[in-house]
Amino acid sequence: MDCNQQRRPQNGCSRPMMNNGQSSMPGCATQGSMNNSRNGSMNSPMNCSNMNNSRNNSVNNSRNHSMQGSWNNSRNNSMPGSGNSRTAMNGGGGGCGCGDSGNTRSNTAEMDSFAVGMAYVPWQRWNQTYDMHRGLSSGTIFPELDKPFCAAGRCGR
Amino acid sequence: MKNEYLHQVNMAGFALDEAVLYLDTHPGDAQAMSYYQMAREKYRQAVENYTSQVGPLFMSDVPESCSFSWVDEPWPWEGGCA
């Protein structure tokens, strides 16, 4: 059993956050790079132009944020999405207009520590379970995983 | 009656599968291990009940006999798994 893995923080960073919301770990995403990811792919309409942008962003981020590269970038204070980039992205006033309220900032502060280009699944913890009858009919014994399934225009459980 | 026995097997078997999937990534979780033990015992009982009341559920469940009772029940294309 890999006990170290279980104790590892689930945000993908093994070092604590700084007070300003930036990660103290080289290689962890900052606000700037999160915005890149969000604007570049998550909320973009699916058209060819944006898909190309998204692909380019991903490729660039991937190149720049490979583990070795990130460490080196951080040492040189030139990591994309570092403090200067963040100021430019959010403080510049241009951009998405999605606001930068205190709540948003605090909610995204932890996410800032995520490395870009990686997928994360929150660590499941053992809680209540359905009884076996409901578990079989629901397709899971875990209430927190009992999500509506929407496909072909229908939603159901 | 046969369907009810089979339903018990399916319920316990599914719960056991779920516990196994969870334990694959949480091997040190004591609560999950406790659930696994419970589900495993229920599954074992359910299979035993089916086997004793209905017939062999798996090829390895065929009891000692003069004939091979595995072939006594309807085949799937005869509605045997419905």
More confident residue, A45 or B36: B36
Segments of chain A scoring below 70 in pLDDT: 1-107, 156-157
Same domain (yes/no): A91, A145? no
User: What pLDDT is recorded for position A5?
Assistant: 45
Q: Which residues of B touch A3 (CB under 8 A)?
A: 28
pTM: 0.53
Same domain (yes/no): A87, A28? yes
Same domain (yes/no): A42, A88? yes
In a domain, A26, yes or no: yes
| Residues belonging to chain B with any Cβ–Cβ distance to chain A shorter than 8 Å | 10-12, 14-15, 18-19, 22, 25-29, 31-32, 35, 39, 42
3-state helix, strand, coil in chain B (%, to 5): 70, 0, 30
Nearest-neighbour CA in chain B from A119: distance (Å): 17
Q: How many domains does the structure of chain A reveal? A: 2
User: What pLDDT is recorded for position A148?
Assistant: 86
**CB–CB contact A132 B32 (8 Å):** no
User: What pLDDT is recorded for position B82?
Assistant: 52
C-alpha to C-alpha distance for A118 and B40, rounded to whole angstroms? 36
The CA-to-CA distance between both ends of chain B, in Å, stands at 13
User: What pLDDT is recorded for position A153?
Assistant: 76
pLDDT, mean over chain B:
92
Contact A78/A61 with Cβ under 8 angstroms? Answer: no
Contact A24/A18 with Cβ under 8 angstroms? Answer: yes
